Chains A and B, each alone.
Chain A
Amino acid sequence: MRIEILGGGCANCARLYENARKAISDSGKKAAIVKVTDYGKIASYGVMRTPALVIDGEIKSEGRVPGADEIRKMLG
């Protein structure tokens, strides 16, 4: 699994990163987590609000910070 956190580095992006990290460790799944901070790249996903959460290329949330529990459900 590949999890991407899209955002230019604002406070909410850091919160989302932390929540995602917690969700992964809670779920016990193996997943790589990367931050995408390049704006051109962020826009190429079709995302217009940051932070956004992308799992295996699919946008799961944008413009908000889902909690660790919600992200764990997204992980399946």
Chain B
Amino acid sequence: MDIFEQFASWLVNGILGVAPDTRLSDVVVYFTADVTKIFLLLSVMVFLISIVRTFITPQKVKRWLGGRKEGVGNVLAALLGVPTPFCSCSAVPLFIGFVEAGVPLGVTFSFLISAPLVNEVAAVLLLGLFGWKVAALYIGSGLAIAVLAGVLIGRLNLESEVEDFVRKVRSKKQNEKMMAPQERLDFAKAETIDIVKRVGPYILLGVGIGALIHGLAPVGFLSGIAGRDNPLAVPVAVLIGIPLYSNAAGAIPIVQALMAKGMALGTALAFMMSVTALSLPEMIILRKVLKPKLLAIFIAILAVSFVAIGLLFNALMG
């Protein structure tokens, strides 16, 4: 038992008086331990990343990426996407800003893929619920997909598939003022409260559903349909993930419980990536700046990449 499970069983069995070793106790202890651990990790991590974030504004990212070549540019873009906050409603102004600053299309896509896919919330949940190995696998393969998909889109010469108005935008130059150290701390504090408040309900819901699955579903009930031996499980998981619009916060706890019941790791990774990076609302928003052909290529490349990652890890693990 780790320290969080000890705390949870002390609280649930000791203080609340739930009889230990019952199904109810299992579910409630599991829920309490996970929630405590995740919220603690999340608050610390979001605070640290938010401080980093005050140094990496989109305006700077745009300057750093402007005119970059394939390769270096894609890697840089994928890495810069990690600490950048991403709300799908910002995807469009970000995209226009990049294009205007002369960031190559492929480099822009590396950023657009990495920003929602690899972020501190996903990292914390994976770390807290799966351990560092799975967290590293997810982050590593997420970055690799962002780089490769960006390079591929760059080589396809699809510049004409960007909506025409995007190229006509001329923006005013904004002068950025330097933040004082105290301002950075204040920003990080406000950001932490905001993010934890925003993703909190998803985590509670996700862990709650996870706890129910954990306590009620028989062990191994998914081994047959979502186990390693069913090659169709991965593409089906990716397809199911597209219309499911949740952030990593809600999806990861549920996936953890599903894995405990026999879902294979690769299938789980592919599903998580699809849920976080391929969401219907984001695609609808991106349609404003991408012509249908480019949008379709973008979705197809991502879906194929996620399936490939899933199959790869299912083949490697085990």
Contacts and interface: CB of A to CB of B under 8 A. Distances in A.
A75 to B, nearest CB: 19
B96 A40 contact: yes
A20 B19 CA distance: 52
Interface in A32-47: 39-40, 42-47
Contact of B171 (A10, A12, A43, A63): A43
Interface in A18-60: 39-40, 42-51, 59
Main secondary structure of the interface of A (DSSP, over half): loop
A50 B97 contact: no
Given A7-B89, A12-B89, A63-B90, A45 B171 contact: yes
B194 A64 contact: yes
Contacts of B190: 64
B94 interface: yes
Interface residues of A, number: 20
Interface string B110-129: 00000000000000000000
Contacts of A44: 169-172
Contacts of A8: 89, 92, 285, 288
Contacts of B59: 46, 48
Contacts of B66: none
Given A39-B289, A40-B165, A49 B171 contact: no
B3 interface: no
B173 interface: yes
Main secondary structure of the interface of B (DSSP, over half): helix
A10 B85 CA distance: 16
Contacts of B169: 40, 43-44
Given A39-B288, A40-B168, A44-B169, A50 B93 contact: yes
B159 to A, nearest CB: 17
A44 B167 CA distance: 11
A7 B92 CA distance: 10
B172 A48 contact: no
Closest 8 CB pairs of A and B: A10-B89, A43-B96, A48-B58, A46-B174, A46-B171, A48-B97, A49-B90, A43-B169
A64 B92 CA distance: 16
B172 A46 contact: yes
A27 B68 CA distance: 47
A42 B170 CA distance: 11
B89 A39 contact: no
Contacts of B166: 40
Given A39-B93, A44-B169, 15 more contacts: A12-B89, A39-B288, A40-B166, A42-B93, A43-B97, A43-B169, A44-B172, A45-B174, A46-B59, A46-B173, A48-B97, A49-B85, A49-B94, A51-B89, A63-B85
B93 A48 contact: yes
B248 to A, nearest CB: 19
A12 B198 CA distance: 11
Nearest to B89: A10
B87 interface: yes
B58 A49 contact: yes
User: Which of A39, A42, A45 has the most chain B CB atoms inside 10 A of its CB?
Assistant: A39
B26 interface: no
A50 B96 contact: no
B46 to A, nearest CB: 14
Interface in A52-76: 59, 63-64
B5 interface: no
B172 A45 contact: yes
Interface in B48-71: 58-59, 62
